[in-house]
Amino acid sequence: MEAAPRKIIHIDMDAFYAAVEQRDHPQYRNKPIIVGGKPDSRGVVATCSYEARQFGVRSAMPSTHAYRLCPQAIFVKPRFDVYREASEIIRGIFARYCERFEPLSLDEAYLDVSDSELYQGSATLLAKHIKQEIRRQTQLVASAGISYNKFLAKIASDLGKPDGLYLITPEQGPAFVENLAIGKFHGIGRATEQKMYDLGIVTGKDLKQLPLAELQRHFGKAGQHYYNIARGIDPRPVNANRVRKSVGIETTFDHDIADLSTILRYLQDLLEKALVRLAEKQLTAYTLTVKIKYQNFVQITRGRTLAEPISDSPTTKMLLTDLLKNTGVGTTKVRLLGITLSGLENGHSRLRQYRQMDMFDLG
């Protein structure tokens, strides 16, 4: 006898930081709000309201670029203490209705409600009730995706935003994935998307045509995952006790670069974005690692552990320069750069100090 399909809900708060600011400041409502660095800084966008997104502004975008796209936007300094308070209320709601939930950041989580008998065992009705309860207690709006695995629940929560509620059933899953554009697949970044395009993979149906061995040849260990999700399969459990070991971000260039000052500028941008992710997860890091992949695909890493939490400070920027010594950077062309922050620690006790470290160049 086959096991019953799981029931997974993905809850994603809509424009969370910006929504909190609009909730707390009536003068911001119905206006383009950008939470993050000032428009004349080297900071980045932490998030933005839907009014700003209409102009093409997106999270992790440099603030200067966001200003060019939407000069009328109101730029707001992040208030992580307030966002964390709202997040704790939301997690309390999850705990009332679900034994197994996995927070991914302050504003999203997976819930496994497979065994729940609430609302006649309907995950959709349960998700609807959780959304209503979040709005009642926080005056904030959440979107929910419901499906039989994490991959499809995550995809579903993006459909119909803001205030979305979308179900993908086991019967619908395989056909849904076949019609899905590769760029909409959660976990496939721009570089992988371009590589798939080069292989003629544009939709899930195209991805499904490739044998497992070929996917592994092109994408290594990730090949198995792509093979599975092309068929609507994702066995990953909702892990309520997940311990994050690192936070990383990387970028692959359309054209190889060799100029040292340009490479340092990219590394500083990646560091800022990684620090934003770290703050969202309420963590601090003590180890900084730089990843470099050269034009010939040779890859090296250089790292260092500090006595104090890593921040976007002049000391850290000097460390980036120091880590590049004797690597060939500046003479050998580079095709990929990455930053990884590890040696993580719960950041609650350090959050106020961390906000003062000028992570967003807020002045």
Q: Are 294 and 334 in contact (CB under 8 A)?
A: yes
Q: Are 111 and 103 in contact (CB under 8 A)?
A: no
254 is in an annotated binding site: no
- Given the residues 21, 51, 102, 108, the one annotated as active site: 108
Cβ-count burial of 88 within 10 angstroms (0-12 exposed, 13-18 middle, 19+ buried)? exposed
Please choose, from the candidates 178, 170, 183, the residue with its C-alpha nearest in 3D space to the C-alpha of residue 205: 178
Handedness of CA 78, 81, 86, 90 (dihedral sign): positive
Please choose, from the candidates 289, 328, 326, the residue with its C-alpha nearest in 3D space to the C-alpha of residue 305: 289
Report d(CA 19, CA 117) in Å as an integer.
Answer: 32
Report d(CA 3, CA 233) in Å as an integer.
Answer: 14
Q: Which residues pair with 340 in a beta bridge?
A: 248, 289
Alpha helices, H only, 310-361 = 314-323, 351-355
Please confirm, yes or no, whether 102 is among the known catalytic residues: no
In order of 44, 80, 258, 271, 276, the CA distances from 336 in angstroms are 20, 31, 11, 14, 21
Report d(CA 186, CA 184) in Å as an integer.
Answer: 6
List of residues 6+ apart from 82 with CB closer than 8 A: 20, 24
Q: Can you read off the two tokens belonging to residue 30?
A: 């119905």
**58 φ/ψ sector (left φ>0, alpha ψ -120 to 50, else beta):** beta
Report d(CA 272, CA 360) in Å as an integer.
Answer: 7
Report d(CA 129, CA 63) in Å as an integer.
Answer: 37
Chain-centroid distance, C-alpha 51: 21
List of residues 6+ apart from 88 with CB closer than 8 A: none
112 is in an annotated binding site: no
Q: Among all residues, which ones are annotated catalytic?
A: 108
Numbered residues of the known binding site for Mg(2+): 12, 107
